[in-house]
Amino acid sequence: MEGSESLNRTQSQFARQLTRFHSESQDSLVDYEEDEPRKSMEYELQLLEESVSGDEEALRKVKAMRPSFEDLYAKYHDERAKVLDWEKIHTPGDKIVAYKDLAAPESIAVDDMFGELAVLKLNGGLGTSMGCVGPKSVISVRNDSTFLDLCVKQIEEMNKEHGVDVPLILMNSFNTDDDTHKVIKKFRKAVKIDMFNQSQFPRVLKETLQPLPSDYSDSSEWYPPGHGDLYRSLESSGLLDELLEKKKKWLFISNIDNLGASVDTDILKHIYSMDDECEFVMEVTNKTRADVKGGTLIEYDGAIKLLEVAQVPKKHLEDFKSVNKFKVFNTNNLWVNLQAIKKKLRSGHMEMEVIENKKVLNDGRVIIQLEQAVGAAIQNFKAIGINVPRSRFLPVKKTSDLLLVMSNLYHLTAGELRMSDKRIFKDTPLVKLGDHFKKVKNFLSRFENVPDILGLDHLTVSGDVHFGRDVTLRGTVIIIANEGDRIDIPSGAILENKIVSGNLRILEH
C-alpha cells in the first residue's frame, strides 16, 4: 500500500512538473533556468495552495506560511554556495563573562526588573523518543510533577515574592498545541499563560528539492522549522506587541525540558547594569565529553555567532568536538530584549543560518527539513555570553537523565531542582542505560524505587536488569545481563565500584 501511494505521489509530482514545463514560453524558460530552484518552489507552492482552495482553514494556513517558507528556502539556496572559512573562526574572548564576575549593583530595584520580564518555554516537542504519547512537557519527572507543573510553580513563587505578574509563554508546534490547550486549564488561576504556534512548513524531497505534500491532509508531510522560528511567529501572533504594550522589556527563553533553566536574579541584575549596551544574552557552560555536539559561540568576521555541528565541514568535525579548542557550549537559555527584537524584525534583516536536517522516510526517500536555531539570532544584536554553572543545564532527553532528576541527587524547592549538599562529587554522574530502559514505562517498571546515587560517579546498565528497594550505588558500577539472562539487584544492596555480570558474579572494579 505504501509503495502504491509513493508511486502515485511521484507520478503526480512528475505531472505537475510537466504541466509547468508546457506552460512556460521559451523566453520565460531562459529566465527560469537562472533561478530554477526558487521559481520551481514558488510554482509548487502555488499548486499546493490551489489544491486546498476548497478548505478555508487549510488555505489560510498555506497562505500564511508561504512568505516565510519561501524566504527560508531562498536563504537556504544562497547559503549552499557559501563555504565556512575555518581560519576565520576565533573564540569570543571578552564577549563571554564568567558567572562569578557578574555585576550586581545595589541601586537596581529587583522587583522592577521582574516586573519587566516575561518567560518563554519552547514547547514544540513530543515525548515519543522516551516512549510517551503527547507533548514532552506533560511527562512526570519528579513527585508526579511534569515539566509544565514545575515551570508554573517557579513563576507562581516568583510572582508572589516580588509582587509582579510575570507571564508564562509557550511556543507550541502543531504537534503539541491541542493537547497543551487541554492541560493548561488547571493552571489558569496560578499564572497568566499565553501561547502561540510556530510555523508549519512542508518537508522537501532531497532529490528534487520540491515540497513533499501535495495537499494539507497528512501532517507527517509537514514539520515545525526549529525554535529559530520563534521571532517571526511571536510577532505574527501579536504577542510581541502585546508584551511591549504591557511594558515588558526582557524575554527569558529556554527549553521546557531543561530543569535547570529558572529565572536567575544575578543574571538579570547584570543585564540591567549594562543599560543599552546589551540586547541579547546566551548562557553557555563548560563542555565535557558528553557535550561534543553542542553548538558553541564563536567570533567570525568581527561578529559573535553560534556555530552548530550541522554547519561544520566534515574535515573539521574533530576540531569542533575538541574540549580544548571550543571550551563552552550553548545551553539554549537566552535573554533577549523585546524592543530590540521588534526593531530588527521591522528592518527585515534578521540574519540566521539555515540548517539542513535530513531524514529518511519509510519508503526510502530522503527528505530535508530547513530549520534555524533560536540562538543563531545572536549575531543581530549587541550580545554577550555568560559562562554559567552546569546546574543551569539539566535537560531530560533520555531515561538516564530521568533517573538523575528523580533521585536523591536533587531536592525540590518552589519548582526548582537543587543539587544536594550531600553530593560527594562536583559533577552529576555519567549514566548509561540500555534499550530495556529506553521507554519511560519500562524504565519505571525496573525500579521498585530510585536508588541512592549521592556517591555515584558512573553507572552503566545493559540487558534485563531489575532493582529492588533501597539500593545504593557508589563510585563506578557496571551491570550487564547477557541475552537470555536476568539480573535482580536485591533490596538493600550496596554496590560500590562493582561489575555485575550475567551470572551475578560481583567483581571489584
Q: Which residues are catalytic?
A: 397
Q: How far apart are CA 373 and CA 198, in angstroms?
A: 13
| φ and ψ at residue 463, rounded to 5 degrees | 95, -165
Residue 127 neighbours by CB under 8 Å, 6+ apart: 133, 134, 135, 136, 138, 139, 440
The one-letter amino acid code at 324 reads N
Q: CA 388: distance to chain centroid?
A: 18
Q: How far apart are CA 44 and CA 27, in angstroms?
A: 20
Exposed, middle or buried by CB within 10 Å (0-12, 13-18, 19+), for 57?
A: exposed
Q: Per DSSP, what are the bridge partners of residue 498? A: 477, 508
Radius of gyration of the chain (CA): 25
E strand spans, 428-493: 430-433, 456-462, 464-467, 472-480, 486-489
Exposed, middle or buried by CB within 10 Å (0-12, 13-18, 19+), for 1?
A: exposed
User: Given strand 303-307, what is the order of strands in its sheet?
Assistant: 89-90, 296-300, 303-307
Asked whether the beta carbons of 124 and 173 are under 8 A apart, the reply is: yes
